[in-house]
Amino acid sequence: MEITEEQRKRAEANRLAAIARRQALLESQPHKDPWHLFKCRKISPEHNPKPTPIHLSDQPQSVSLEPLPPKPLPLKFQVSLEICSPDSFSATPRPLQGKPYPGEDRCLQRLNDSLSNVMPSHYTQNHGGGKACVYKLRDYNAVLKCLKIAADIEVAEIPWGTFNVIERLSHSFAAERWVPCRPEHLPDEKVDELIGKLPRTLLDALLPFQMDGLRFGLRRGGRCLIADEMGLGKTLQAIAIAGCFLDEGPALVVCPAVLRFTWAEELERWLPCCLPADIHLGNSYC
């Protein structure tokens, strides 16, 4: 919509009158700083002290560009607890899968810090060639409690069944005499009685270490593992142990097929009470 010439003149007159009124108002008031209403502390005169002069040297200054020291790796590793003797166990630091290994020395230091209240017996070398701390079996629960509190240590415990058996057997080791601790275990009086039932020829053929193996097996009710080297007479020890329990029922011998006749001959030789008719040879199809 277009305005008329009369409307244009009226608007121009109003604009000029407004400018005149504003100019008269400014002249009637005293002169003030145009920034007196500005509240910025950085440029306000009362809050902006004089800047400190900076003197620049004509000589350029050298800037040290030495690299920052590397951040230490996060400490996270596993401690494996293992039985190493009848009355002691070892604590071995091992790397965790998917985690950077901080190193054996640092892990051992962290392990000692966590177990500062438990005195280690000594240090030993594990199967992998590394170091391990050895503690008394009586301190197992204290060691386990301290390690579980540490957030940066993962514990591989001794299986409960294994620890229970070793702990009971440790009493015999500490007392330096055999102390039966399970229902199938036999006291030394019963062991001597069973040994007395064996043929004299068999007893005379046993060497001292084989006699120790015989007593070891009889004390545990015949439940044992004979782990002597090849050629040291494991067969003779096994026959002697089996001969002590013939009154309780037949004995089963599991062996390679080529050794069936060898076992039969050894049984006939060392146990005269076993007649050929009493020995039955089986095969894998029985």
User: Which tokens sit at 194?
Assistant: 């069973």
Shared domain check, 264 and 212: yes
Shared domain check, 199 and 135: no
Domain boundary residue, one of 114, 141, 166: 166
* pLDDT, mean of residues 213-232: 89
What is the chain's mean pLDDT, rounded? 81
Domain boundary residue, one of 166, 191, 217: 166
> What pLDDT does 30 receive?
62
Shared domain check, 182 and 160: no
Domain boundary residue, one of 107, 142, 166: 166
Residue 31 in domain: no
Residue 4 in domain: no
* pLDDT, mean of residues 18-36: 72
Residue 37 in domain: no
Residue 231 in domain: yes
Look up the domain containing 195 and give its range. Answer: 178-278
pLDDT (tens digit per residue) in 139-177: 888 998 988 888 888 889 989 888 888 887 777 776 677
Shared domain check, 188 and 155: no
**Which of 143, 137, 145, 204 lies closest to 169 in space, CA to CA?**
137
Shared domain check, 205 and 156: no
Shared domain check, 273 and 204: yes
Q: Quickly list H helices, the chain.
A: 5-28, 104-114, 140-149, 160-175, 188-195, 200-205, 208-219, 234-243, 260-270
Residue 199 in domain: yes
Shared domain check, 153 and 197: no
Residue 38 in domain: no
Query: How many domains does the structure of the chain reveal?
Result: 2
Asked if residue 195 lies in contact with residue 203, where contact means CB atoms within 8 angstroms, the answer is: yes
Shared domain check, 190 and 145: no
Return the higher-pLDDT residue of 130 and 230.
230
Whether residue 254 is predicted with pLDDT greater than 80 in this model: the reply is yes
pLDDT (tens digit per residue) in 58-92: 555 555 666 777 666 567 888 889 888 888 888 88
Shared domain check, 214 and 158: no
Neighbouring-strand partners of residue 156: 80
What is the Cα–Cα distance from 210 to 229, expressed in whole angstroms?
12
* pLDDT, mean of residues 125-134: 76
Shared domain check, 189 and 159: no
Tell me, yes or no, if the pTM score tops 0.75: no
pLDDT (tens digit per residue) in 168-214: 777 777 667 777 777 788 888 999 999 998 999 999 999 999 999 99
> What pLDDT does 241 receive?
93
What is the Cα–Cα distance from 151 to 60, expressed in whole angstroms?
51
Shared domain check, 204 and 227: yes
pLDDT (tens digit per residue) in 273-285: 888 888 888 876 6
